[in-house]
Amino acid sequence: MAYGLFVHILVVEDQAKIASFVKKGLEEQGMVVDVCDDGDRGFEMVATMPYDAVVLDIMLPGRDGLSILRHLRERKNSVPVLLLTARDSLNERVEGLNLGADDYLTKPFFVEELVARLRTIVRRSSGQTLNLLKVDDLTVDLMARTVTRAGDPIELTAREFELLEYMMRSPGRVYTRIQICEHVWNYHFDPQTNLVDVYIKRLRKKIDQPYEMKLIHTVRGVGYRLGESESSRREQ
């Protein structure tokens, strides 16, 4: 399983703003995300559905997060759990870890850190290598920060690597120029700039031009997508 594909996360968080922020951030990494704002319903969902990991707030209406965690572990449910807490309390963190939490984050936090921690606990739980992204014969190693196509090494700049990684998280998804600009460059898109188009052209030259199968496709009037072999063939 390439990371970002078929990773199903449950977020149990009663603060709508935080839940929305987390959901958006995880979905941008290609994850499938369910959100629940109630502890009782959250426990029911995680107890009956096969999630890859749970992001669990401690302070919840209904069952609190520690109670949910305790009952899951008593039932021998080993789903990876990452606790969220608004209180920087050593006792609370220790209690959560002793109950079987896999990790924790104290609010406020950066979604990038949440993604990294989820990646670690899901990998540890599944035993799968989640550091590799693959689309057809194109492979990105996130740890080594290397790119190969058909076994050939491809040298990318740091920004080119970030752009390629972003698009490879969800093969087949169409990314608008606004989404690419805001994610890769972290600033609002200027309709007058051709920055995204310039970098897409650079990527095409390196990962597409020397090969018969083209992977980067323009979706007219929308943006770009990085396609898998079957869809790529349809567009040839």
CATH number at residue 92: 3.40.50.2300
Look at residue 147 and tell me whether its pLDDT is greater than 70. yes
Percent share of the chain, pLDDT over 90: 47
d(CA 62, CA 44): 12
Residue with the larger pLDDT of the pair 187 and 80: 80
Which of 134-138, 147-151, 163-167, 168-172 tops mean pLDDT? 147-151
Question: What is the model's pLDDT at position 152?
Answer: 95
Classify residue 20: in a domain, yes or no.
yes
Mean pLDDT for the chain overall: 84
Look at residue 180 and tell me whether its pLDDT is greater than 90. no
Which of 1-15, 157-171, 220-234 tops mean pLDDT? 157-171
Q: What is the CATH number of the domain that holds 172?
A: 1.10.10.10
Question: What is the model's pLDDT at position 184?
Answer: 82
Question: What is the model's pLDDT at position 90?
Answer: 66
Give yes or no: residues 229 and 168 share one domain: yes
Q: Domain boundary residue among 69, 96, 126? A: 126
Look at residue 236 and tell me whether its pLDDT is greater than 60. no
Classify residue 147: in a domain, yes or no.
yes
Q: Kindly list the strands in the beta sheet with 223-226, ordered across the sheet, starting from the edge strand earlier in the chain.
A: 174-176, 223-226, 216-219
Q: Domain boundary residue among 70, 93, 126? A: 126
Give yes or no: residues 87 and 190 share one domain: no
Across the range 207-218, mean pLDDT stands at: 94
Q: Domain boundary residue among 77, 101, 126? A: 126
- Please name the residue that has the structure tokens 């600033």: 187
Look at residue 107 and tell me whether its pLDDT is greater than 50. yes
Look at residue 116 and tell me whether its pLDDT is greater than 90. no
CB 132 within 8 A of CB 3: yes
Classify residue 3: in a domain, yes or no.
no
Assigned token pair, 178: 């606004």
- Please give the tally of structural domains in the chain: 2
Look at residue 143 and tell me whether its pLDDT is greater than 90. no
Q: Confidence band (pLDDT; 50, 70, 90) for 227?
A: confident
**Residue 189 DSSP one-character state:** P
d(CA 101, CA 140): 30
Name residues whose C-beta falls within 8 Å of residue 177's C-beta, 6 or more positions apart in sequence.
189, 196, 197, 223
Q: Which domain holds residue 100?
A: 8-126
Classify residue 49: in a domain, yes or no.
yes
Name residues whose C-beta falls within 8 Å of residue 53's C-beta, 6 or more positions apart in sequence.
7, 9, 10, 79, 80, 81, 82, 102, 118, 121, 122, 125
Give yes or no: residues 122 and 137 share one domain: no
Look at residue 234 and tell me whether its pLDDT is greater than 70. no
The pLDDT tens digits of the residues spanning 1-35 come to: 333 345 889 999 999 999 999 999 998 888 889 99
Classify residue 54: in a domain, yes or no.
yes
Give yes or no: residues 119 and 192 share one domain: no
Q: Confidence band (pLDDT; 50, 70, 90) for 161?
A: very high
